Amino acid sequence: MWDSMIAKVKAAIYHQERKQEHEESPFFLVVREILSARWSKSNTPLHCLAHSLNPRFYSTQWLQEAPNHVPLHRDQEISSLREKCFQRYFTNDVERRKVKEEYACFSAGFREFGSVDSLNDRGLMEPAIWWVSYGASTPLIQSLALKVLGHPCSSSCYERNWSTYSFIQSLKRNKIAPQRVEDLVFVHSNLRLLSRRTPQYNVGETKMWDVGGDAFDSLEGSGILEIANLSLDEPDLEAMIFTDEGDGNDDEFLEDPTQ
C-alpha cells in the first residue's frame, strides 16, 4: 500500500511538472525521501502488533481488494516483529504460549471467531468495538488489542501543537497568561483546519498556509517540505526556524511590556 501511494504521488508530480518517466524531478526526490523516512519510523514492532490485531486486515472485503493482500499471520515480516512484541509483553513462557494460541484462533477464524457475525463484522466494525463484542473467549489477546489499538499511531499532531505554542509564547511575548496562550493555540489550530474549506486555500500568497506550520513562506521548490519534515521530529529546531525574526524594531518592541 505504501509503495502504491508513492507511485501515485510520483505520477501526480510528474504530470504537474510535465516530465517523462525517465526524467529526474528534484521535487519528487525530496518527497520520496520524506515518505520513506515516515515509513521507516512507523515500521516498528509495536506498529506491526497493532496492525496484526486489527480484524479488518483479515476480512474478506480487504483480502479481495488486491491480489497481493494476505492475512497478516502469513506475512513473514509482520509475524517476526509481532513475535518480538509478544516476547517483550509476556515474559512467562506459559502465558506467552497461551497468547499465541489465542492469536492463532483470532487470525485463522477458529472456535468462537468462526461465527458468521464475527467474520462478517471484521471489515465493518471499529477494531476496538469488534474486540469488545467478540473477544471474550481470548481475554489475554483481547486486553492487549484494546490497549494497543487505543493509542494514536503518530505524535506529529502533538508536536505541531507544541510548535504553535512556541510561535505564540516566545521570548518577545512571555507575559501572556497560560489560559490566553491555550485559547490562542486553539483558535490558531482551528483556523488552519477551517482554511482548507475556503476557495482561497489553493490560490494566492497564503495558499496552503497550514502546510508550512507557522512559517508563512512560499511553497515554491522543495525547501519547505524539508522544513515541514524536520518539524515532525525536531520541534525545538522548528521553533527556531519558524520564529518571527522581526523587522528591525526589536528594541522598541521590548520596551513596551503590553506587546
Q: For residue 246, give every residue at least 6 positions away whose Cβ sits within 8 Å of its Cβ, in sequence order, or none.
A: 172, 253
DSSP annotation of 57? G
What are 98's three cell numbers?
A: 497461551
Closest of 158, 130, 159 to residue 145, by C-alpha: 130
Task: Summarize pLDDT for 156-176 with one digit per residue, the tens.
Answer: 666 777 777 777 777 777 777
Sequence-distant (≥ 6) Cβ neighbours of residue 39 within 8 angstroms = 2
In this predicted model, what pLDDT tens digit does every residue of 42-69 receive, in sequence order?
A: 677 888 888 888 888 888 887 887 777 8
| pLDDT tens-digit map of 82-98 | 888 888 888 888 988 99
Q: Beta-carbon neighbour count of residue 141 at 10 Å? A: 23
The DSSP H or E segment spanning 4 is helix 2-17
Ranges of the chain with pLDDT below 70: 42, 152-158, 206-259
